């Protein structure tokens, strides 16, 4: 079908392998964190990895009560004015380990004596050699330009680190169900066809909140880079502070939700958008389906809200693939894109 589709299908196996083979690396990160007690996290990433960093902002904030900052790499490269990183745990996320600007943040963190962690699919990369600690993703080669398995593996890696810092048996049990839950999401692929017509282009909005704000961002990116639908993601709260002004009857809006504390917010924005005549569709895991949707796909994984970005990312990737096929676009070869993007 396509390399992109094949790699989407590998994700349950990748998640299981990562959880099994990363134990010593994860334990080392947890032990170092408890020893040094950093005040918070600074995370450097680009592209899909930046969405994983956004997930970490909610994950470490909720589970570990830690303040998370997303690095501005241009401060380290173009402006030559890196902020003080002492007392922080600095994490670089790069599937290739070859992103120059992410590497620049880690190198500066090492110079300043901060705790550093590299999350990468290339354990022999320059980024991995620079960092104090490395967590390989064990995803195998990812040949399609759009990231799929390295994205969800990054989410799993962050969840493992969070639990290594503050262990919770219920969260351990939930992590053990991630692989089978992702496999369950793959089985819902055919149901996604009812969402495709709303995303025929040329534009769309994707909304989430909390843990799945990162999922909304990732799905919007996948729609844009695989099928050239100009998709923009917002947090529901930010959307209501201005961008909602762009909607009009028939405007396509995709809601993404995993239940939990923000479920009522998605239901409220859905009702408002339906009143405006928008074409509202949804992807949900463990959430009640809002009224008035044109169409929805609901997968009940049984995972806590903190881990639903894994199943919803799988569904979003499959949806992007089906939209690309419907538009006659090769999702493996997006125009003007390469697998490794070198920005400073």
Secondary structure (DSSP) of 198-242: GG-SSEEEEEE-GGGHHHHHHHHHHHHHHH--EEEEEEHHHHTTT
Q: Is the dihedral of CA 240, 244, 250, 254 positive or negative?
A: negative
What is the predicted pLDDT for the residue at 341?
55
Q: Please provide residue 13's backbone torsions phi and psi, each rounded to the nearest 5 degrees.
A: -65, -40
In this structure, are residues 302 and 286 in contact, taking their beta carbons and an 8 Å threshold? yes
Q: For residue range 6-49, what is the model confidence (pLDDT) as tens digits?
A: 999 999 999 999 999 999 999 999 999 999 999 999 999 999 99
Work out the average pLDDT over 243-253. 96
Does residue 274 carry a pLDDT above 50? yes
What is the predicted pLDDT for the residue at 336?
52
Decide which of 93 and 334 is more confident.
93
Q: CA 55 to CA 61: how far, in whole Å?
A: 10
* Domains of the chain, start order: 3-176 (3.40.50.10490), 185-326 (3.40.50.10490)
Q: CA 116 to CA 106: how far, in whole Å?
A: 7
The DSSP call for residue 257 is E
Q: CA 126 to CA 55: how far, in whole Å?
A: 25
Q: For residue range 189-201, what is the model confidence (pLDDT) as tens digits?
A: 999 999 999 999 8
CA distances (Å), origin 343, targets 5, 45, 101, 337: 27, 11, 6, 13
Q: Is the dihedral of CA 152, 41, 174, 284 positive or negative?
A: negative
Work out the average pLDDT over 331-344. 58
Q: Output the six-digit token pair for 117.
A: 């962690």
What is the predicted pLDDT for the residue at 144?
87
What is the predicted pLDDT for the residue at 335?
66
Give residues with Cβ within 8 angstroms of 226, minimum separation 6.
4, 146, 320, 321, 323, 324, 329, 331, 334
Does residue 343 carry a pLDDT above 80? no
Q: Output the six-digit token pair for 331.
A: 């999702």
Q: Output the six-digit token pair for 211.
A: 């843990």
Q: Output the six-digit token pair for 261.
A: 């504390």
Torsion of CA 26, 28, 32, 38, to 10 degrees: -10
Q: Please provide residue 252's backbone torsions phi and psi, each rounded to the nearest 5 degrees.
A: -80, 130
């Amino acid at each position: 079908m396509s390399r992109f589709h094949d790699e989407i299908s590998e994700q349950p196996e990748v998640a299981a392998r990562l959880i099994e083979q990363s134990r010593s690396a994860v334990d080392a990160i947890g032990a170092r964190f408890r020893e040094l007690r950093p005040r918070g996290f600074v995370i450097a990433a680009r592209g899909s990895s930046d969405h994983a960093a956004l997930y970490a902002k909610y994950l470490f904030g909720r589970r570990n009560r830690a303040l998370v900052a997303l690095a501005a790499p241009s401060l380290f490269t173009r402006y030559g004015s890196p902020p003080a990183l002492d007392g922080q745990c600095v994490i670089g996320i790069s599937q290739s380990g070859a992103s120059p600007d992410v590497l620049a943040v880690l190198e500066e963190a090492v110079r300043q004596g901060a705790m550093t962690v590299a999350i990468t699919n290339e354990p022999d990369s320059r980024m991995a050699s620079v960092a104090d600690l490395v967590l390989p993703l064990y995803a195998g080669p990812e040949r399609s330009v759009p990231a799929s398995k390295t994205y969800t593996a990054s989410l799993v890696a962050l969840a493992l680190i969070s639990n290594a810092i503050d262990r919770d048996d219920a969260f351990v049990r939930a992590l053990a169900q991630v692989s089978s839950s992702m496999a369950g999401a793959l089985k819902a692929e055919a149901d996604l066809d009812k969402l495709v017509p709303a995303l025929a282009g040329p534009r769309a909005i994707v909304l989430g909140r909390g843990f799945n704000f990162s999922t909304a961002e990732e799905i919007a990116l996948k729609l844009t880079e695989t099928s050239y639908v100009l998709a923009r993601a917002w947090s529901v709260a930010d959307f209501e502070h201005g961008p909602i002004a762009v909607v009009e009857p028939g405007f396509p809006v995709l809601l993404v939700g995993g239940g939990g504390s923000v479920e009522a917010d998605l239901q409220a924005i859905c009702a408002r958008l339906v009143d405006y005549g928008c074409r509202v569709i949804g992807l949900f895991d463990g959430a009640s389906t809002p009224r008035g949707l044109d169409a929805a796909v609901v997968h009940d994984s049984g995972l806590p809200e903190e881990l639903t970005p894994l199943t919803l990312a799988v569904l979003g990737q499959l949806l992007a693939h089906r939209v690309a096929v419907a538009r006659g676009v090769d999702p493996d070869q997006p125009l003007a894109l390469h697998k490794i993007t070198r920005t400073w």
